[in-house]
Structure 1
Amino acid sequence: MSKKSTMAFLLAAAMFSQAEVQAQKKAAPTKKTATATKAQANKTQLVEKVTRKNGELVIPYEKYVLPNGLTVVVHEDHSDPIVHVDVTYHVGSAREEVGKSGFAHFFEHMMFQGSDNVADEEHFKIVSESGGTLNGTTNRDRTNYFETVPSNQLETALWLEADRMGFLLDAVTQQKFEVQRETVKNERGQRYDNAPYGLVYEKVSAALYPYGHPYSWTTIGYIEDLNRVDVNDLKNFFLRWYGPNNATLTVGGDVTPEQVVKLAEKYFGSIPRGPEVKDMKLPAPVLTQDRYISYEDNIRFPMVQMTLPTVPAYHPDEAALDVLSRIIGGGRTSIIYQNLVKTQKANQAGSYHSTSELAGEFTLMARTFPNQTLAEMEKELRNALAEFEKKGVTDEDLERFKASAEASFINRMSSVSGKTSTLAAYQTFTGNPNYLSKELKAIQAVTKDDVKRVYNQYIKGKKAVVLSVVPKGKPEMVAAKDNYTVDKSGYKAPTDQYAGLKYVKAQDNFDRSKKPAAGPNPTITVPPFWKQNLANGIKVIGTKNDEVPTVTMLFTLQGGHKLEAHDPSKAGLASLTAAMLNEDSEKYTSEEISAQLEKLGASVSFGSGSESMTVSVQSPVKNLDATLALLEERMFKPKFSQDDFDRLKKQRIEAIANQSTQPTVVANNVYSKMLYGEGHIQAIPDIGTVKTVENISLDDVKKFYQNYFSPSVTNLVIVGDVEQQQIMPKLAFLNKWAPKPVNMPAVAKIKGIDKTKIFIVDKEKAAQSEIRIGYMALPYDATGEYYKASLMNYVLGGAFNSRINLNLREDKGYTYGARSGFSGTEEVGPFTASAGVRSDASDLSVIEFMKEIKRFREDGITDEELAFMKSAIGQSDARRYETSFQKASFLNNMLRYNLEPDYVAKQNEILQNITKEEINALAKKYLPVDNMSIMLVGDKASIKPKLEKLGYEVVELDPDGAPIVAKVETPAAPVEADSKTKSKNNRKAKKVNGRVFN
């Protein structure tokens, strides 16, 4: 859940736009139209038009208001043949009541369950089939729904959004309600109850805000409230808050304002206004003493967090508080990092300032190493505040903040979805889509005195909520004894807002049940690119992208974790070497480099993965020379100091040990070990094990860098607002990089799976089980069997409306999301089906997973599914090359796999010509249901007895993947789903995995 509705931390620039018509101030558009004449009230009103002049940093748009109060904002951008549609309702969890928490988020789920003219679960299918993607999110203050589709699908997207705004409730059934209730409970289990530190925000919110305050609970809600509500409560929530007068429709991309307004009038214009929605204003919480609270969790690192109340979003003091949080704990140069992390007193520490519509929170946090009490850590956080008082604010502090904020905003402008969502947020919370000008002024105007003033006003000597999170069974580690419990005595229930609500449907002069026809398919072209090889072996590929004034560079050095096969006893060496390259150089400390990069609005970072090491660079074009100078320093003059190594090694060992508290990580690690087998380097996590990292010395890091950091295995991708002839001379320093041969280790043979078995890793009392099912399948091939197998899997578990997700999530409510897919590399990669499921449905989930895989293998794909797959994947090309990151990924793939320039055309040809018979043959070949491993990480005591009845051999593993005990059961065949389940799941496949509700 995003707590920061404002973008003050992100937004900054030197210039801002002058609107052709002065932007509305705080007043909402509905108030303006209320004063219009009767004739005006019956027409769509153009409120303002904002254009870009003289290179200003502004998002051009036109804003309209329909007679029913719907605000329409249109941003025209023809750079890519795509369109982003966003409908934001000004309602979040802050509009809920005590005892009915979670409604806003619950209703977000229900909005994807069909409406009068869109069949059950068809919303996802229609968008996916059009080559689009979609989602919905909820936070404290708003709920938004959005699609990115090829531009010829604009009318379809608007038809879909209008249908659920005006024609939803008759399609809401008790059965859908019950299934989505289980899905939301699964989401809570996965993201809150079953996640380390998952309840921090819930605990702090309840202690910081008075009982009954709409921020005193979280957006996900409480389980007891979810269990208590019924479908009529949910319908009333829709009637109260989902009227067009409480919504903003924002459309950006390859459109014209006239086109969008005409369609908005057609599909949204007849929807009746809803009840009036007034802005809320509540006083900031007042704490008369420090409120100490605590809870025990399944964690390794004890944590203390201090939270103080500040100001709501768009408050004049917000920007200065953002700067303050950055100075105290926002990066390597911050006080908290230097005093706690650099000195190894804390494993992780920092501070941040978050704001929402009604309130803001200033937070300081530290996670200690094991067996440390939190009282001393709280003292250290308070000492950091005292140190700020002494040191104050420097000109450089302000310069760094403003430059990095400007760069963050520019990066956000790189996609049509980023620009559209920015306009939508400003309109929703200020009534002015062009509020950017005020944000920019506020950030650029912050002074040293402002930062000192807000510290004195909101932080110095103020009381805080102090939360301790300690490992289970260690209550003595808390910072201080709990002294606060929620006081309900002063609570007074609000006036009933739901009495007398009626559902009034729109009256149309057209047949809304007919899905709009798509316009002509947009022309899709692969970005033009250039290539150049350097004498030392570096392969360079690049393309010009002038939509934003930035340059993105990605170096990829073949090897990474794979090279550790030369000495597996030191696995994790590549990752640790990359971490060391992010530290001091011969000339600068890491803090000095970070400070310089922040002032440039740039970044240079090193990383390592299973197949390669990477160097990522991003810079504004105007600061590219200075950024490249820092890149050269970091790449070729690392200091490799003993102090940095000791600190990073300690942090790495602790991080590895901490993985035992994270079921998802345990599942992934054990699953990899099962698939690759003993002796294969990929059976060991990229970051190593405690034992292997303990074996690594600083000399090992130096030797790894000397032996394997070579241009002979390096690819470089460049995407940005520069031409080849401009950028290559600036990279002349790379020619001095001396090549050396890199000996890639022989690939260890992977043993096949003789028969399907179930493996269990115990996670005592876990509310959910993590499931992984699969086998080692195929190496990557852009136009061969791998690509074709991926097409085959699309409707099984790779699409929004996959069979697997339809079954486990939408039909059964066992999970928040389930999926399957192939993930090959140059050598080989697995087929994996996975989900986090309710613990009590672990055995049933295994049954349904295997049933769907087996049914697809035996019966194959339907004609309808084949047509859907071809349409969805074929039209998605419109979204493939929009951003610099997307272009860089595409070009990097070409170099990595030595692909021909026409490989995309060949893929499209394969896609369009592949037959039902080919798909079915691929399913039989690459879905070996009798030769897969089924692994679960969950509460053994509750799940094992049921799993033993499924007819598979059951083997217990420890968290490192080593067998504990093996037991063979004798049933003749795996249990099949009952007849009722079978008939239910033989319906057409319709819906989605991958919807992430925040």
Structure 2
Amino acid sequence: MKIFDSFRKSQFQNLKRNAFCLLALILSACQNGEDNSQSDFRIEYEKFELDNGLDVIFHIDRTDPVVAVALTAHVGSAREKAGRTGFAHLFEHLLFLESENLGKGGLDKLSARIGGSGANGSTSRDRTNYFQTVPSDALEKMIWAEADKIGWFINTVTEPVLAKEKEVVKNEKRLRVDNQPYGHTQYVIDKALYPEGHPYNWQVIGSLEDLQNATLEDVKDFYRKWYGPNNVTLVISGDFDPAQAKEWVEKYFNEIPRGEEVAKQPKQSAVINKTMKFYHEDNFARLPELTVAWPTVPLYHKDYYPLVVLTKYLTEGKKAPFTQVLVNDLRLTSEVRMFSRNSELAGQAQLSIRAFEEIDLDSVQSAINKAFNQFEKSGISEQDLDRIKAGQEADFYGSLSSVLGKGFQLAQYNIFADDPGYINEDIRKIQEVTSADVIEVYEKYIKDQPYVATSFVPKSSALLALEGSVKANVVEEPIVLGAENSFDPSLEASYEKTPSSFDRSVEPPYGSPPSVKIPEVWQASLTNGLEVLGIESNEVPLIQMNLVIDGGQLLDSPEKVGVANMVAEMMTRGTETKTPVELENAIAQLGASIRVSSGKDEIRISATTLARNYEATIDLIQEILTEPRWDNEELELVRQKVINALKQQEANPNTIASNTFDILIYGKDNILSKNSLGDQKGIESVTMADLKNYYDKFLAPNVAKFYFVGSISQEKAISSLSSLQKEWKMKEVTIPKTKISATPKNSTVYFYDVPNAKQSVLFIGYPALTKTDADYYPAVVMNYILGGGGFASQLTQELREKKGYTYGIGSYFSGDLSGTFAIRSNVRSNITLEASQAIKNILEEYGPNYSFQDLETTQSALIKGNARAFETARAKLNMLENVGKYNWPVDYLKQQEAIINEMTVEEVKNLAAKYINPNKMYWLVVGDAATQLERMKELGFGEPVLINQDSARK
């Protein structure tokens, strides 16, 4: 169950101030007649409305000493005007920067000091939200800060601030769209699907031209129109005193004047009279991709629910008609994706198929028709319907595993259904979908209906596009040096301060210090050598498990790298007694997920299941682990999937950067420098015997650890493993020691050419510390202000907040294998050198200029942030793996706190001198060599080394 962006009028529209409501989710026991008591799940909430129209929702959850605060405005890109697109998203960015009483840095600086998760936000077609999770003692500070956004913000926006943030947003667009394979697909689809003037005709992120044309007065008008408290919902969820919180909300929000009334937008479903086909030769694509979209319905329309089931049934899993036809039978692709995108005003069903190399997309279109015909003949069975519903139930619980997740749900239903309790209705409608409903919506919205189709093909491959396609109007940004205007966002705004009944410039005090409770960890060892660790947590009726087997790529043969990955792929493709389809259905019928993956030094089985179905899920994990099927047809499908993935990586700048950086860090002869997928030649030579040999020799319980988090006791977990203890036998396995590469004696710039790249990927670093080194955690503390602290870091403040060079940048000590230190960022192409120089300057000056204030910020952020250390199941699993893999004590958090508290400025300076030397690092640039390669000489590290000589343009 996802958080939805939609609206529906509800009978609860007239909920009054201080109304107290109970939200009860009574979910069926997977339609199998089991006792429902295990599935009952309740969320209590209180909703009230201030006189100025602000909706406020409280939800109490005392599991952890944290509080999530989410402020959601009912405004997204659909409220914009043509020619001024991207405003809602631009505005999301601006609201974090400054307000009259928080000053420069706004919520970002506050978040670091109070140990918050980091102020963040998101924008959709229909809403913009702002959120973060903080220790419970910082709640009043957050309420004060959120009120400042709504009542004391707009005066602080200056022309330089707006100019800088335009550059940040444009960099985000380059990162997510312009510099990505197939990045412009949605733009082309929506332009055709929704006519000019329709609120969904443009993308949420807008166009570069519209962003550049935005004026300061445009911004102020937007704020006044859409950010009145009567168009906003505030949700506070977590461990707090509701009576005290209500006093704070009234104190800080009550005097904000009501904004102009906001009319509800009418539903405006897309209507197309004929099929439209477009093609685009994509600079970054190496494989042809066909995307097809049909107009459907807004969210919460009665047909929405069966449409979701339809898209899942058609494409998800081996039994899906599209998988059977396009993947198994015709071998045109390794994956088919389809989803129902339903928003407040309209909806669409969208199908996407990335075909194998040189496949003509007309043959894909024919295969789509064949798959639809197959569906028309067979329909959807009750068993398949129940399987999909079970998955939706598990997804729903997963969305509620944090206080922020609960807050999101309450806010979304309040805004788009006029009632936080609408979730009951939503769940009921999901459960009531019938097979007949699914057939009905297929015939109504898909079968023989006009659609929009896009063919995105590699350069010079237009012949692969659908017949009859016309060239799409995609605007490509040229790379021009000095194209951006200069600005100084540090300039103070001059304005008359907005009045208030009290002095809002005084930051509220902390509340009572939260008590961080380290989860109780149980540990056991089985007779076959398997170590088991767990944490019992009954917050939601889910169990999450990770079985981690040491080895992974480390145990691959250098001649056939990728075998470990293929073994992992094969393990969920059937067992001795179950075909691939039968195994997949058995997992899905439980509302479970079981995934096997391979990494540099491990093979991992990750599973999530409803608590009531745990025993059946663990039986399937054992079957997967001890009785693989080794199906020859599946091996060929895996081989094609891997080769397809390798092809896709060839022109993806971010993947190129990661793979190339590994070669620099480990050295080209080290097994770990190789792509974990292998290479095409090696993958083509892998045999079933290679896979069986790896499995027989290396997958052993005595080099494995099993981690459990969720609604399960130690006794039940251990007893459930009794059969696995007998069936999975010990083996003699030697894990190779990782060869640590030497730190480079001198820095060198390495350049990988991606012609016409709109951004340069910067990847800078060297082999450093592992988690077992004594200096590892002190170095992590030292790095916080450099690049580990998000918006509190110097790298972010300089390259994003001051210069607008990037959307994001950070530095980190990985702690694994070679223990890499790295800095990574995507910067706009025309300032590649300037961004690199800025990073070099920061590294040179970091240690000498480190201050006591820097240390105070670090200590406050890391110590107070520990209140959030164990909130989610994922965080608890991470804790268990630190204990299991590195032999850390269960209370390692307390030891880390002691390190933080005892750290001195002088120690940080010494650590920086030891581990942060810009003259002994690899400086990798993945970008456009024609415009940027020669300029990189000016960085001062000699002649740049062009890595892919054959792609260099003369």
TM-score for both structures, normalised by structure 1: 0.89
One-letter amino acid of the structure 1 residue matched with residue 328 of structure 2: K
Distance 1:949 1:410 in 2: 54
Contact 2:277 2:470 in 1 (8 A): yes
Matched, 1:70 2:54: yes
Q: Pick one of 315, 335, 341 that aligns with 2:321.
A: 335
Contact 1:86 1:420 in 2 (8 A): yes
How many angstroms does 1:741 deviate by? 0.9
One-letter amino acid of the structure 2 residue matched with residue 435 of structure 1: Y
Distance 2:739 2:916 in 1: 24
Q: Pick one of 924, 931, 934 that aligns with 1:935.
A: 924
Distance 2:24 2:926 in 1: 54
Q: Pick one of 265, 273, 280 that aligns with 2:265.
A: 280
Note the 1:75-474 alignment, pairs <5 A.
Answer: 75-133=59-117, 134-297=119-282, 298-343=284-329, 344-474=331-461
Distance 1:3 1:517 in 2: 33
How many angstroms does 1:956 deviate by? 2.9
Q: Pick one of 912, 919, 929 that aligns with 2:908.
A: 919
One-letter amino acid of the structure 2 residue matched with residue 139 of structure 1: S
How many angstroms does 1:828 deviate by? 2.6
Contact 1:677 1:751 in 2 (8 A): no
> Are the structure 2 counterparts of residues 958 and 693 from structure 1 closer, same or farther at C-alpha, using a change threshold of 3 Å?
farther
Distance 2:701 2:233 in 1: 51
Contact 1:663 1:937 in 2 (8 A): yes
Q: Give 1:768's aligned residue.
A: 759
Q: Give 1:546's aligned residue.
A: 538
Distance 1:908 1:225 in 2: 48
Distance 2:836 2:575 in 1: 52
Instruction: Pick which of 707-716 and 371-380 moved more.
Output: 371-380
Q: Deviations over 1:327-384 (max 9, x none)?
A: 2123332110111122322232132111000111111221111111111111211222
Contact 1:291 1:484 in 2 (8 A): no
Contact 1:301 1:367 in 2 (8 A): yes
How many angstroms does 1:628 deviate by? 1.6
Instruction: Pick which of 392-401 and 99-108 moved more.
Output: 392-401
Q: Give 2:899's aligned residue.
A: 910
Q: Give 2:618's aligned residue.
A: 628
Distance 1:819 1:954 in 2: 26
Contact 1:208 1:465 in 2 (8 A): yes
Instruction: Pick which of 877-886 and 327-336 moved more.
Output: 327-336
> Are the structure 2 counterparts of residues 303 and 891 from structure 1 closer, same or farther at C-alpha, using a change threshold of 3 Å?
same
Contact 2:739 2:818 in 1 (8 A): no
Contact 2:172 2:807 in 1 (8 A): yes
Q: Give 1:867's aligned residue.
A: 856
Distance 1:314 1:746 in 2: 56
Q: Give 2:799's aligned residue.
A: 808
Instruction: Pick which of 183-192 and 383-392 moved more.
Output: 383-392
Q: Pick one of 780, 784, 796 that aligns with 1:794.
A: 784
Q: Deviations over 1:179-210 (max 9, x none)?
A: 00001111111110110111111110000001
Contact 2:529 2:703 in 1 (8 A): yes
Matched, 1:899 2:888: yes
Q: Pick one of 558, 564, 581 that aligns with 1:591.
A: 581
Q: Secondary structure at the match of 2:317?
A: coil
Q: Secondary structure at the match of 2:357?
A: coil
Contact 1:759 1:954 in 2 (8 A): no
Q: Deviations over 1:917-971 (max 9, x none)?
A: 1110000000122211111011101001211233222333335xx8999xxxxxx
Q: Pick one of 941, 947, 952 that aligns with 2:936.
A: 947
Q: Give 1:685's aligned residue.
A: 675
Matched, 1:886 2:875: yes
Distance 2:13 2:105 in 1: 34
Q: Pick one of 730, 736, 754 that aligns with 1:739.
A: 730
Q: Give 2:637's aligned residue.
A: 647
Distance 1:723 1:24 in 2: 44
Q: Pick one of 514, 537, 543 that aligns with 2:529.
A: 537
Contact 2:6 2:417 in 1 (8 A): no
Distance 1:855 1:483 in 2: 54
How many angstroms does 1:702 deviate by? 0.5
Note the 1:545-564 alignment, pairs <5 A.
Answer: 545-564=537-556
Distance 2:337 2:813 in 1: 38
Q: Secondary structure at the match of 2:98?
A: coil
Instruction: Pick which of 51-60 and 345-354 moved more.
Output: 51-60
One-letter amino acid of the structure 1 residue matched with residue 923 of structure 2: I
Distance 1:504 1:440 in 2: 50
Q: Give 2:476's aligned residue.
A: none
Contact 2:334 2:637 in 1 (8 A): no
Q: Give 2:34's aligned residue.
A: none
Q: Give 2:18's aligned residue.
A: 46
Distance 2:612 2:502 in 1: 54
Q: Deviations over 1:407-427 (max 9, x none)?
A: 111121211111110000000
Distance 1:838 1:871 in 2: 34
Distance 1:422 1:590 in 2: 36
How many angstroms does 1:691 deviate by? 3.1
> Are the structure 2 counterparts of residues 83 and 4 from structure 1 closer, same or farther at C-alpha, using a change threshold of 3 Å?
closer
Contact 1:114 1:121 in 2 (8 A): yes
One-letter amino acid of the structure 2 residue matched with residue 242 of structure 1: Y
Distance 1:798 1:954 in 2: 30
Instruction: Pick which of 352-361 and 902-911 moved more.
Output: 902-911
Contact 1:207 1:485 in 2 (8 A): no
> Are the structure 2 counterparts of residues 624 and 504 from structure 1 closer, same or farther at C-alpha, using a change threshold of 3 Å?
farther
Distance 1:749 1:929 in 2: 20
Q: Give 1:980's aligned residue.
A: none
One-letter amino acid of the structure 2 residue matched with residue 679 of structure 1: D
Distance 2:289 2:471 in 1: 18
Q: Deviations over 1:298-346 (max 9, x none)?
A: 2111011110000101111111111111221233321101111223222
State the identity as a percent. 35
How many angstroms does 1:696 deviate by? 2.1
Q: Which runs of 5+ in 1 are unaligned?
A: 8-22, 34-44, 487-502, 966-998
Distance 2:853 2:217 in 1: 36
Distance 2:174 2:723 in 1: 52
Contact 1:103 1:221 in 2 (8 A): yes
Instruction: Pick which of 394-403 and 48-57 moved more.
Output: 48-57
Distance 2:280 2:294 in 1: 19
How many angstroms does 1:719 deviate by? 1.3
One-letter amino acid of the structure 2 residue matched with residue 547 of structure 1: E
Q: Give 2:32's aligned residue.
A: none
Divergent runs of 4+, >4 A: 26-29, 51-55, 483-486, 503-507, 962-965
Q: Pick one of 487, 508, 512 that aligns with 1:520.
A: 512
How many angstroms does 1:840 deviate by? 0.5
Matched, 1:856 2:840: no
> Are the structure 2 counterparts of residues 690 and 746 from structure 1 closer, same or farther at C-alpha, using a change threshold of 3 Å?
same
> Are the structure 2 counterparts of residues 471 and 509 from structure 1 closer, same or farther at C-alpha, using a change threshold of 3 Å?
same
How many angstroms does 1:654 deviate by? 2.3
TM-score for both structures, normalised by structure 2: 0.93
How many angstroms does 1:106 deviate by? 0.5
Contact 1:554 1:616 in 2 (8 A): yes
Contact 2:23 2:424 in 1 (8 A): no
Q: Give 2:769's aligned residue.
A: 778
Distance 2:851 2:908 in 1: 10
Distance 1:798 1:870 in 2: 13
Distance 1:755 1:629 in 2: 54
> Are the structure 2 counterparts of residues 192 and 253 from structure 1 closer, same or farther at C-alpha, using a change threshold of 3 Å?
same
Q: Deviations over 1:892-931 (max 9, x none)?
A: 1101011123322111111101111111000000012221
